[in-house]
Chains A and B, each alone.
Chain A
Amino acid sequence: MTMDFKPDIKLDETFYKVKEVRRLTEETFSLRLPKSRFTYHAGQHISLGIQGDYQSREYSIYSGENDECLEVLVKEVEDGYFTPKLSKLKPGDLVEVNGPFGKFKIDEKKTADHKFVFVASGTGIAPFRSMVRTYPDLDYTLIHGVRYGKEAYDKDEYAPDRHILCTSGDKTGKVHGRLTKYLKSASFEKKTQFYLCGNSNMIFDALEILKDKGFDRDQIHCEVYF
């Protein structure tokens, strides 16, 4: 007896025309795509392909759930395979979007009575911009670690008292040094929900600091880029 069940057809592979390429620094840019029917939760990522290329890479969604565009934030990696190609894209070029994927999301039940601490290195800020834009009333603190102050992507969108920029290569940040230096000195409420995003070395160090401070692994959510 063959099952007569047929799964709903889901549109999860689609080509999108690049709408805009927004240059943020010499190496970093955002790609804006039309959102059309694409729905996602803040914090999730997509996999992005370029027409005619067999490779794809994952990118956190940089736009809020209700924004007009689907946006990703990309840093061009020297000697990387994919980002130099992405960086050459022009409005009208086609990219393939798969997803959304991932469990790195805000627990809606906690938004009203929990504090949120977002810890990002470099482009790891992407999911947090999406969360902040999606939940305007969120009680959050964003700790962003970069080398130079110019990498504080879209800094003006965050309330100054919620945005803690840590710069290790110049003195333009609120904190001079790595974000882990700040984390060690800071204190947080017991029930705080932590979200860590970026490279695995930063996440490992931040996890150790938070666990040393007595926070439970269950209240620390991680998204590893590389």
Chain B
Amino acid sequence: MNSAKKKIAFKTLGCRLNQYETDALVSDFDKAGYEVVDFKEHADVVVVNTCTVTNQSDQKSRNTISQAARNNKGSVVVVTGCMANNYKEKLEGEDKITYVVENNRKGSILNLVDGHFGGELIHPEKLHADVFSYQVVDKSLHTRSAIKIQDGCDNFCTFCIIPTVRGRAVSRPLPQIIENVKNTLANGFKELVITGVNIGRYEWEDKRFEDVLEAILSVEGDFRVRISSLEPDGFGDDFVKLFSHPRMTPHLHLCLQSGSDKVLLRMRRMYDLKQFEHTVNLFRAQYPDFNFTTDLIVGFPDESEDDFQESIDAVNRYNFGHVHTFKYSVRKGTRAERMDNHIPDKIKTERSTRIREASEDSRDRYLNSFLGKTETVLIEGINKQQVANGYGEHYIPVHFKAEGLEKNTFARVKLVKVEGRGEDARVIGELVG
């Protein structure tokens, strides 16, 4: 394929797991001799890795597919990801899409595309199905690499479509994970993000999530470890001890979803606010500035003003570094869809605005509490003005003057000023020493 390198473009929507899976595909195609181009450029193949977690993600995925087809007339359009599972037949019926590949066969898209150009038309259902068969991600893409340890979920939370589109919980065997970690580190990555759909449910032989983390931490190398997102009931009290490891970053994204115990039960989330608080206190007793970030759903069916207020109170109480708020959106086929008392959109919007305000205040307070302190920042990029950006160990976005430094190296930075608010907030720092 050297004389006329085929061009391929990717677009990813949704979660970190999807991003990781795209990154692995990019590395796959790159190694196979394809030229990976920007999504805006014309390509011979476009892969859209979709998301279906909310109505909004469906809409975005649909728009992206249309855009991909419009900009690349006559090219191969591959649609994969959770929307491909959720609306498979509908998507297969659309002329603008060449192939619809379900999540469990996503790792084999190179075979499909290679086959296509070789005149061998494979039906995606014939591709090898394996949710873990991904390439080790190449360093040129990011400075952080996800390590996928698990896929699927069978908690059956009443609002969630994920069990339907990602399938039941499966765990990657520990030796495979460790091999993946070593290869990823050999590719030059300095930060590993432990990823999956519900990683706290990891179960392989007698190994649980904590064992996986411990094993990863003991691999040799100059790197640090972050945990992507965790359910509040996915670990025991001993979990906190692992954070004393120098490679462990003091940050957890712990999905609370609601501050009301009543709503949590109707969501089929089997913890209560007190248990969540216990975890927060346990960690902060040892690491006072530990960063907790979370997800909250606003306007779940039958959520009363009091229930909602409990979510606001939680935001105000736990000093979250970031709160990702979702306005509840009905997913077809979920138990919540069939519940009574759906909240009118006007009220949902009004509650979203209020909780977003509280969340931004919380983020602001959290970031400001770091002024004068020093963070170890992994440099993700340096612009023409020699300003570097990256995240500190507490997952604080930091910008600082970095003359003479390089991308993908650690720098000690003193934090001096918070700029911006909400998603755009960042801390300006000064290089130490």
Contact = CB atoms under 8 A, between A and B. Distances in A.
Interface of A: 1-3, 5-7, 12, 55, 58, 81, 98-99, 101-103, 200, 203-204, 207, 217-218, 221-222, 224, 226
Interface string B82-122: 00000000000000000000000001000000000000000
B356 interface: no
B134 to A, nearest CB: 7
Residue of A5, A6, A12 contacting most chain B CB atoms (<10 Å): A5
B261 A58 contact: no
Contact of A222 (B107, B134, B270, B338): B270
B261 A3 contact: no
Nearest to B269: A224
B212 to A, nearest CB: 15
B154 A102 contact: yes
A1 B176 contact: no
Interface of B: 28, 107, 130-136, 154, 156, 168, 170, 172-173, 176, 179-180, 183, 261-262, 265-266, 268, 270-272, 274-275, 333, 335, 338-339
Contacts of B135: 1-2
Contacts of B176: 3, 5
A224 B265 contact: yes
A222 B156 contact: no
A6 B265 contact: no
B133 A217 contact: no
A7 B233 CA distance: 27
Nearest to B167: A12
Contacts of B335: 226
Contacts of B170: 7
B262 A204 contact: yes
A98 B338 CA distance: 21
B120 to A, nearest CB: 19
Nearest to B170: A7
Contacts of B183: 1
A204 B261 contact: yes
Given A99-B154, A224-B265, A224-B270, 7 more contacts: A1-B136, A2-B107, A7-B130, A7-B170, A101-B156, A103-B270, A217-B274
Contact of B265 (A55, A99, A222): A222
Nearest to B180: A3
A200 B266 contact: yes
B239 to A, nearest CB: 14
